[in-house]
Amino acid sequence: MSPVRMLGWHALTWLGDSGLLLPSAVLIALWLALASHTREAAWRWVLLFGAASGVVLASKLAFMGWGIGSARFNFTGFSGHTAFAASVWPVALWLLASRRGHLVRVTAALMGWALAGVIGVSRLALGAHSISEVAAGYLLGMAVSTAFLAFQWHRPRPQVRVTLVALSLLLPLAFLAPGQAAPTQDALERIAVRLSGSERPFERMDLYRSL
């Protein structure tokens, strides 16, 4: 793979990094909570996104700590980048288009799902995940954003300024430079080893050693 193409894949995969999207998810909840007519939506978003994050975390710890995965499907846990991207980007873009018409808001959400799909492909291109892991992550994230937007279909939508929302969603850049990955993987490995009492975290190749 050429250096330019590799740089492009890294740039795309960074758009799904937890260091960028976890703060963005919190900011979405804050924007929804500002107005009383969307406060219920804020709680719904927190519950849906929190549940999906818990599933991703549990799947990763289960494999790293105890080797729970599937050699048949080459599955070691949900792709967090893909799951977070498919959860956050459709809702974030919908929020940015909240003052626009119905068609614009739907188009914004579709763009978010498309971006999440490309981010998932970047994880495959970089060899970070298998097809099953990316597909599982995408379906999980899509379930979150689809459920949230479906609940909001006939309910009051936020009336926020695009510039203010855009600036707030860019706030994580003050703490995480573009292209700089959050140290979540190393942290999860340490947690998994401590919880399981194993000498080291399980790796993908460990799936096949027992066959």
Task: Judge whether residue 211 has pLDDT over 60.
Answer: no
User: Cα(first)–Cα(last) distance of the chain, in Å?
Assistant: 32
Confidence of residue 26 (pLDDT cuts 50, 70, 90): very high
Confidence of residue 4 (pLDDT cuts 50, 70, 90): low
How much is the average pLDDT of 143-156? 92
- Residue-wise pLDDT tens digits, 76-110: 999 999 999 999 999 999 999 988 888 999 999 99
- Show the DSSP H helices in 67-100 as ranges: 80-96
Pick 162 or 139 by higher pLDDT.
Answer: 139
Confidence of residue 174 (pLDDT cuts 50, 70, 90): low
pTM: 0.91
Pick 131 or 183 by higher pLDDT.
Answer: 131
Q: What's the rounded Cα separation, in Å, for the pair 140 and 146?
A: 10
pLDDT the model gives residue 154: 83
Contacts of 111 (CB under 8 A, 6+ apart): 89, 90, 93
- Residue-wise pLDDT tens digits, 117-139: 999 999 999 998 999 999 999 99
CB of 125 closer than 8 Å to CB of 25: no
* Amino acid sitting at position 206: D
Confidence of residue 145 (pLDDT cuts 50, 70, 90): very high
pLDDT the model gives residue 169: 76
Confidence of residue 1 (pLDDT cuts 50, 70, 90): low
Task: Judge whether residue 176 has pLDDT over 60.
Answer: yes
Contacts of 106 (CB under 8 A, 6+ apart): none
